Amino acid sequence: MIILLAVTSYLLDRATKFLVFQHLPLFSSVPIVYNVFYLVHIQNTGAAFGIFQDRNCLLAVLALVALAAMGILLALGAFRTPFGRWSVGLYLAGISGNLTDRLLYGSVMDIFDLVVPFFGHWPAFNMADSYICIATGLFLYDSLHEGDVRPPTDNPSKL
């Protein structure tokens, strides 16, 4: 199930980037919902929010280390709950999607631009970035609620 989620999500990331690459010139923008949501074509040589600009090799190595760590933890059975397993699948897809861009193009293609009220333009992002954010939320939720599962009991009054 983890691999199916990872592969399907990865392919969706690749497909959306491919379509934008084929149909939208670099630095172009097309409104999807005017003044709210735009399809864009931007190349980002950094990481989230534009940090670590022009550090592509470092970011690629960090991505490889993260993928290896996920693989080891997965092999050790560290992710036992559904939320934990889903987070791993989405992390694998997100990290792999952006790593593929870095290795092929030397930068990550960002394709979505969101205008947030009272904030302005949110930094451009892509499907892989979304997967990483969702995975982080699932992982945090799972970590915070890890001890919430009670063992079964024969006596309902002890629940």
In the 8-state DSSP scheme, what is residue 28?
-
DSSP state of 125: B
- Residue 142 annotated to the active site: no
Check whether 113 has a pLDDT greater than 90.
Answer: yes
Task: Count helices and strands (H / E) in the chain.
Answer: 4, 4
What pTM was computed for the model? 0.86
Alpha helices for 29-126 (secondary structure H): 56-75, 82-105
Task: Give the residue among 88, 82, 112, 109 at the shortest CA–CA distance from 21.
Answer: 109
Q: Is 154 a catalytic residue?
A: no
* pLDDT digit string, tens, across residues 145-156: 875 555 555 555
d(CA 38, CA 28): 10
Task: Say which of 13, 110, 113, 142 is annotated catalytic.
Answer: 110
Between CA 126 and CA 18 the distance in angstroms is 12
The one catalytic residue among 13, 113, 129, 142: 129
The per-residue pLDDT for 149 is 52
Q: In this predicted model, what pLDDT tens digit does every residue of 55-76 receive, in sequence order?
A: 999 999 999 999 999 999 989 9
